[in-house]
Amino acid sequence: MSQAVLDQLKGRFGEAVLETHNRFGNETALVKKESLLAVLKFLKEECGFEMLMDLCGVDHLPETPRFEVVYHLKSFSRGYRVRIKVRIAEEDPVVDSAVSVWKGANWYERECREFYGIKFKGHPDLRPLLLYPEFEGYPLRKDYPHKKRQPRLPLLKPETR
């Protein structure tokens, strides 16, 4: 069903679309990092993908490039779903923020930054969302030590019962 959208993407962006596939009913396009924002704007404004349903990070250690950001989009008017992926190198884990396209990307990007260390260029507020500011490391990376101890923080006020 959404194969037509993938065909439109390939026709419009050509070399920027590195790969497309349809596995298990999930139409997916892998795009170049430099073209991501233009692709997302095209999908929203010209293809009718009104909603960013999810944004998540993936750690492909030991592959290169190591990281991937995955965008799940939904068009309610057409009943289509499409997944856009972008690969990001470990040495420079930065990608453009989608907040200018969908305001709902805000918290998804903050969560991805917090757990994978992927930075979103142009994001209005990348402060921690779920972890406390003194937390060390990125807990969803595959090389994060599973027995790592985090610094304890003093209580703000004593608990009374």
The mean pLDDT of the chain is 93
List the chain domain ranges: 3-92
Is the pLDDT at 1 greater than 70? The verdict is: no
Is the pLDDT at 158 greater than 70? The verdict is: yes
CATH number of the 3-92 domain? 3.30.460.80
Q: How confident is the model at residue 132 (pLDDT cuts 50, 70, 90)?
A: confident
Q: How does pLDDT run across 57-93, given as a tens digit for each residue? A: 999 999 999 999 999 999 999 889 999 999 999 999 9
Q: How does pLDDT run across 87-131, given as a tens digit for each residue? A: 999 999 999 999 999 999 999 999 999 999 999 999 999 998 899
How many angstroms separate the CA atoms of 71 and 141, rounded?
19
The DSSP code sequence of 53-113 is EEEEEEE-TTSSS-EEEEEEEEETTTTEEEEEEEEE-SSS-EEE-STTT-TTHHHHHHHHH
Percent of the chain, pLDDT > 70? 99
Is the pLDDT at 16 greater than 90? The verdict is: yes
Q: Which residue has the higher pLDDT, 148 or 40?
A: 40
Is the pLDDT at 153 greater than 80? The verdict is: no
